[in-house]
Amino acid sequence: MTTPIPSPPALPFLGHITQIDKDIPQRTFDLLADQYGEIYQLNLITRQSIIVASYELQNELSNEKRFQKTVIGALQQVRNGMGDALFTAYPGEENWGIAHRLLMPAFSTAKVRDMFPDMYDIASQMITKWERFGPRHVIDPCEDFTRLAFDTITLCAMSYRLNTFYSDQSHPFVKAMGDFLTECANRANRPPIMNTLMRGSSAKYEADMKIMNDLVDELIEDHRKNPTEKQDLLSIMLNGVDQKTGKRMSDESIRMNLLTFLVAGHETTSGLLTFTLYYLCKNPEAMRKLREEVDDVLGEEPIQLEHISKLKYTSACLREALRLSPPATMRVVRSLEDTTIGGGKYFIPKDAILAMITSKCQTDPKVWGEDAREFKPERVYGENFEKLPPNAWQPFGYGMRACIGRPFAWQEAHIALASIVQKFDIVMHDPSYTLELKQAMTVKPKGFYVHAIPRNRSTAPIAVGVSSSLLGAPYLAASRRGSQEDASESGNANGELRTEPKQKLYVVYGSNTGTSQTFAQRVASDAPAHGFKATLGTLDSIVGHVPTDGPLVIVTASFEGEPADNAAHFFEWLQNLKGSELAGVKYSVFGCGNRDWVRTFQRVPTVIDDLLAARGAKRMQERGVGDAQAAEFFQAFDEWEAQLWKALSEEYGVEVSEKDAPMSGISLKTVDPGTSRAAVLRQPDTDLGRVVENRLLTSPNAPQKRHIEFQLPEHITYRAGDYLAILPHNPARDVHRVISRFALSPEQQIVLSANGPTSLPVNKPISVFSLLSGYVELCQPATTRDLRALLSVQSSDATKTALEELSASYAEKVIAKRLSVLDILEDHPDLDLPFGVFLEMLPPMRVRQYSISSSPLHDPQRPSLTVSVVEAPALSGRKDPFLGVASTFLSGLRPGDVVQLAVRASAAAFHPPEDVRIPMIMFAAGSGLSPMRGFLQERAVQKKAGRDVARSTLFFGCRSPEEDFLYSDSDLKEWQELGIVDVRPAFSRCPEKSLGCKYVQDRVWHDRDIVKQAYDHQNARLFTCGSGKMAQGIKKVLTELIKESRSCSDEEAARLFERAIQGRYATDIFE
């Protein structure tokens, strides 16, 4: 008895065609595979297709005795331009046989080796271009690799130089080809009558084909007029005779095949190289190993032919990129007979069309493991590659119709990649970039840009790229106060002359959310006042080039124990030094972190600090420690910075006179008095999301928790477990408090200017309200540095006494009460503080990350958040309540509102298991339910699609079932009835309704047999999301469970817990 092949709900007449993503069809096929599993069926108007997404089924479909490559859909439309050429011929067409027999020898390994000089010639042109434009030039690798592959195929195969690297614009063929392939895909998914009626599209389609054919005709004519002794590909096509039939290739066949080589010969290779470069940028360990291999094999010499066989890790990187992101996304076959696949599970009738999703088949966890989506070249290195099961790696196709140009592309890619790594350190323009796709016939990365930094550079940091903060803060190479190399004097914002500092200072940071970058900018801005000339850059900009001609100041963060995106390559490089390579370096480190992540708190700053010292560098002061969830976070930095300047002054003998009053580095000019109102409508751009829904989840008696849904821009998607980063606005109440205190108008237009790095909007008009609303944090506790600044301005004796008392009892009266600079200014109206100085005191607005509470399988463009709205009595004793900045902002959003947001990937472990048969045990309280809802929504969609989904267990804590048992009467109820989850609540206000269990950890202990059974016998994965206090409670109860089961000591139980959670327990902790 066979199993029916599942199919999504379809529309009458239209079938599933409206469900296909019009820009990236592959995204739809992937999401449906995640939903329905290894096989599903689609009705695409002109054809019925069975989609396959597992290794087991791909292996069966690779049997050419049962299944045969077929040309259908978009590929059938490509025949309009390429006819019966090698790529698009129907099985059995004579011209295919003639061309295949003539051209196969031309692509043999021996013949391709003869092409090495021409391949290296073109690669050198690209390298020269990158060197000429310099490290700050933003490179579009997809475009340059397209030029590389296009020029290479025309030179090697046709002895013709297009010289696209000597032109600002791409060759017209490239644009026409891209549009042609896109239209082919569109035409395949329309009813035939529509293609006839769409005259404009048809005219453009014909025009694109003419542009492509014109180039082909030009190449053929040039070759005939200027014959070459080299037996290149075009010579073989023009002069070769097929030994089997005695026939030559017809002129039409030559044109069609030449066009095929131009398209297929550069489209896929450019995609391969771009994907490989992306994965290497995101995986510093692989980049380091690749660099070491290239240095070992090539040294400083240009790559030679004999080097290629020795570049084994290079090969592994290219293979792994092709495994994860094959440019040719699907292969299509036709069944030659009635048959079954999947061990007899699915019946396949004769002539059925089956399409294999190559990337899904090549990331099947049954073959590649639970980490199948991760980039690990070692799995396809050397013997590991040879040991793979048959047909597990098929980016070039298989059998008789496999890619004829594989040896050509493989050699070309090795030359290009090795040459790049030999010459440059590659840095992403946006370190936080995660892979987005664009699709024509093949897929390539979209919006991926890099900088090529010469490896033989000086030791000064090079500031390239953009901040990963949504604020887009200025990213400067040197502080403006020290930007003129030969100036002896310069002026500050107050018109004073001073001697330009000469002693160099290097400030580098590792930052994802912008906090560490802000602290680094503070040091760079303050440097001239302390006699130093600062240069600012990222940690990755000093890989292999740590400066020794001035002190090095490092400000960096830990993210669940991992470095920031723009510090990952430095961190990997530093950990692999062996000797005293850093002798002569003098440094200081300040680390940012969150103590809620107890096991990984300050890991990255600590490792950097220790390794620098171990490798010969001199530590100038003790590492600074900042805890982001603590009220004294900014104070800790101020204290560390004060000690930094003392240490530097002593080390370098720099003396700076103290100022009696704070001197603002910010100047402002009023350009509009605020008496008129500008009516300017802002149009949303592609980085803006739109609010779709905002509803209350709790009763009036409980603290607010809201469900908020957003419509993402089309190019952005997400995974269950990811974060949505929100750039909020301050509560209007607090903005008006500042405006009132400084007697400003909210509509008053000002222009800010700065003489150092700043996160404020400079050199453009902005209203006071917009400035205070969106660019600064208004309610952070004042630091002792702030108090010193306030003491230095004019005020009454009583106020000075009050400020001195605050300083003397800082922890008790400022930190404990979260007393802000604004609070102090309101309490003491006589403080004569300039508005510019006040702005400089304020930290920049930070992005806030919230766990997404939905799954892309439900809707890839509509993520939701489950948010706790923070409104509580002010610790300072003020009558107005304390309002959480981001949650207040989110709670006030209405459908249609536009929000600046971004998707941020969570830790690799914080996603549902790929194998839906593995159950999850989830621990959550309050809005910590958010990611768990996303996990369960994903499992629910998969269950409804017919997959065998394991039942998971959710331990959830809240006040009471009537007040804040989130989603209990909707989603959780439905999913329990569906059989995918067993919900076990704990009600803190009425524990009698939850079997006497008050908190989540109490319920876990009560139901510990369920946890033990799932963990020991079902390979369950464990997830916790909630406050640090709750997470500690869960850890304690799980440790107690081990202690009870093993009858061991507390110490042994703790050790066993740490071992047991490896690879099976993931946490997301917030405060």
Say how far apart CA 197 and CA 209 lie, in whole Å. Answer: 19
Confirm whether 448 is a catalytic residue.
Answer: no
> DSSP secondary structure string, 559-578?
ETTEE-TTTHHHHHHHHT--
Say how far apart CA 16 and CA 536 lie, in whole Å. Answer: 53
Alpha carbons within 13 A on the beta-carbon side of 729: 19
Paired tokens of 947: 């997959």
* Single-letter amino acid code for the residue at 132: R
From the list 335, 371, 367, 365, the residue with the least C-alpha distance to 353 is: 335
Kindly list the distances between the CA atom of residue 407 and the CA atoms of 331, 380, 410, in Å, as whole numbers in the listed order.
Answer: 20, 18, 5
Determine how many CB atoms are found less than 10 A away from the CB of residue 673.
10
Give, as one character, the DSSP assignment of residue 939: H
Kindly list the distances between the CA atom of residue 688 and the CA atoms of 21, 711, 712, 882, 1040, in Å, as whole numbers in the listed order.
Answer: 20, 9, 7, 28, 47
Say how far apart CA 192 and CA 626 lie, in whole Å. Answer: 64
Where do runs of H (alpha helix) occur along 913-952? 929-944
CB under 8 Å to 168, separation ≥6 — which residues?
Answer: none
- Pairing outcome for strands 705-711 and 688-696: antiparallel
3 state SS for 410-433:
HHHHHHHHHHHHHHEEEEECCCCC
Confirm whether 758 is a catalytic residue.
Answer: no
- Phi, psi dihedrals of residue 626, rounded to the nearest 5°: -115, 130
Which entry of 268, 515, 518, 888 is annotated as an active-site residue?
268
Q: Residue 70, SS3? A: coil
> DSSP secondary structure string, 943-971?
HHTT--PPPEEEEEEES-TTT--TTTTTH
- Encode burial over 648-672: b for 16+ CB neighbours within 10 A, e otherwise: beeebebeeeeeeebebbbbbeeeb
Say how far apart CA 377 and CA 313 lie, in whole Å. Answer: 7
Say how far apart CA 855 and CA 911 lie, in whole Å. Answer: 11
Where do runs of H (alpha helix) occur along 587-681? 603-614, 633-652
**Partners of residue 1027 on adjacent β-strands:** 1070
- Phi, psi dihedrals of residue 873, rounded to the nearest 5°: -55, 135
Confirm whether 317 is a catalytic residue.
Answer: no
Give, as one character, the DSSP assignment of residue 714: T
Say how far apart CA 697 and CA 685 lie, in whole Å. Answer: 31
Which entry of 165, 385, 396, 601 is annotated as an active-site residue?
396
Which entry of 142, 156, 317, 403 is annotated as an active-site residue?
403
From the list 550, 466, 566, the residue with the least C-alpha distance to 509 is: 566
CB 154 within 8 A of CB 219: yes
CB 315 within 8 A of CB 393: no
Paired tokens of 353: 């069309």
From the list 113, 102, 110, 121, the residue with the least C-alpha distance to 159 is: 121
Paired tokens of 623: 């590492």
* Single-letter amino acid code for the residue at 59: N
CB 67 within 8 A of CB 335: yes
Catalytic residues: 268, 396, 403
